A and B are shown apart, each in its own frame.
Chain A
Amino acid sequence: MTLLSLHNVTKRFGGLTAVNGLTFDLAMGETVGLLGPNGSGKTTALNLISGYLPLSDGSITLSGDAIGTLPPERIAHRGVARTFQLVRALPSLSVGENVLAALAFRKSPLWGQQAEAQIEALLADVGLSGRASQPADSLTYIDLKRMELARALASDPQLLLLDEWLAGLNPTELRAGIDLITSLRQRGITILLVEHVMDAIRALCSRCVVMNAGTKIADGPTSEVLADREVIRAYLGDEHA
């Protein structure tokens, strides 16, 4: 069953077309990698899905309902949560309050004691158990990423958009990160993953969509897509294709 559907999605910034006629579907429970070299339009595509940017053309549907013209808060209420390429913590809040901010404003909000129990459970899920009262701006980079993921999960999403969530991690942290995303997949959350870490993509994604210069150049099973000549050319240049 299709959860997310992009049809001919286009985004223009003046004379620059950042995303050009992007079309693909995401089935319920699927984990799909959205790949491409820097500047290929991956993050712009996520920004269009989450409502951060308005579409120039095309349509996006979630469970059959058009969401392409909705503002981010209404898309969030329909079950789309995300992390950001550059971690966006709420620095004046504690770690727990960062998570509470998502619990308190999701479609079925939690507040008070119910929320507190949930905050601890979510922080434990991402390896931040017992850190709720710590100021968010005192966390290390990896812990900020964990907190941002806990915040996204607190929205109770059916679709999770992860924008290079595994970037910048050391091998041990990467392993833990892959295990964490695997556990989310096992919970039935549909995940669209923008990522450059190929080990993670192989481990997590059964399917990949590849973009180059705003256009989709490949879409299929991960092993086939990663061996595709055009994908290799886009990443590494003509001499390697």
Chain B
Amino acid sequence: MMKLVFALAALAALALVPAFAGPYPLGLGIGILGYGVLATAWAMFSGPTRYISLATVAFFGLGAYTVAVLADMLPYPLVLLVAAFVGLVVALIVGLATLRLAGIYFVIFTFGLTELVRQLVTYYEVNVTRTLGRYVFLPLGPEHIYWQLLALLAATLAIAFWVSRARIGLALRVIGDDPVVASHLGIRITRTKLTLFSISCVIMTLAGAIQAPRWTYIEPSIVFNPTTSFLVVIMALLGGPNRLFGPLLGAVPLFLLFEWLSANFPNHYSIILGLLFIAIVFVLPNGVLAAGDSLWSRLTRREARP
């Protein structure tokens, strides 16, 4: 009960940020919330199953493009609903096609999927609509985007919390540990993975849809930028993909670091990103929270010794 009160108080405090923050800090807040949502949604599926998905930006971009295409035709809430539906349909198709794959094959497929979606959208725009970019004019200020992302983050954390305590969460962990044992215990592996993959992808699609008005002008190279998928993986791994707040904890410092790096070292940004990725995988394979736990238990064990 105390935890719920604390969570609601934190949410209320965060909701007040636009009232005090200037445009630049608010922009940073939107970025952190956006990546926090993506990393938490990514970890919801990829954390327990250990299926490293690089398709994050495919769904993020689909959400943004859906808004760009439909913003003039439908009321905004309905546009978000359609975006979620598009994300769900694509997730089900991709999931049914790929979730029988495992390990490196899944990673490569999801990476290829992002490129495929980007090329398909580009082909459609160039050859059918005869335009590459689209303008998104919606009467939404940064504070509206911030509040929507905050609500989406709260919902994502609530779903992740529920999953971690529900049967489906246990099923995912068993599948991640040993799919052979999982199937012999009666777990329907494909259905379980597909369910969580779809939930995760719908959230990613919504994150893209909500942020679309921020850019005003979007084109495939912006919203389907594969770097986003890699950033999300690094953030989740840094914080710890198997902890509720781990991915969010990873998103905050890394987003700020990437902002600083891209502003100050635009030509070396990708190299530093790659090195950081390698360092995190080697030094903190289970994330900072798990490393903190392990350090704490080592210290307390040492103190307990006579």
Please state if B184 and A101 are interface contacts (CB–CB under 8 Å): no
Please state if B185 and A102 are interface contacts (CB–CB under 8 Å): yes
Find the B residue at minimum CB distance from A77.
B186
Please state if A104 and B184 are interface contacts (CB–CB under 8 Å): no
Q: A88 near B: Cβ within 8 Å?
A: yes
Q: How many A-B residue pairs have CB under 8 A?
A: 69
Complex CA gap A93/B164 in Å reads: 13
Contacts of B174 in A (CB 8 A): 90, 93, 101
Please state if B184 and A100 are interface contacts (CB–CB under 8 Å): no
**A21-58 toward B: CB 8 Å interface, digit per residue (1/0)?**
00000000000000000000000000000111000000
Q: A235 near B: Cβ within 8 Å?
A: no
Contacts of A51 in B (CB 8 A): 183-184
Known contacts A101-B170, A104-B170; A90 and B178 CB within 8 A of each other? yes
Chain A residues bordering chain B, tally (CB within 8 A): 28
Q: Measured between C-beta atoms, what is the minimum distance from A137 to chain B in Å?
A: 10
Complex CA gap A68/B184 in Å reads: 15
Complex CA gap A82/B183 in Å reads: 11
Complex CA gap A50/B186 in Å reads: 11
Known contacts A88-B180, A104-B167; A155 and B173 CB within 8 A of each other? no
Please state if B177 and A73 are interface contacts (CB–CB under 8 Å): no
Please state if A73 and B170 are interface contacts (CB–CB under 8 Å): no
Q: Which of B154-210 contact A (CB under 8 A)?
A: 167, 170-171, 173-174, 176-178, 180-189
Q: Measured between C-beta atoms, what is the minimum distance from A91 to chain B in Å?
A: 6
Q: A141 near B: Cβ within 8 Å?
A: no
A selection of 25 A-B contacts at a CB cut-off of 8 Å is A50-B184, A51-B183, A51-B184, A52-B183, A73-B183, A73-B185, A76-B184, A76-B185, A76-B186, A82-B184, A88-B180, A90-B173, A90-B177, A90-B178, A92-B173, A93-B173, A93-B174, A100-B170, A101-B171, A101-B185, A105-B171, A107-B186, A151-B185, A155-B185, A155-B186
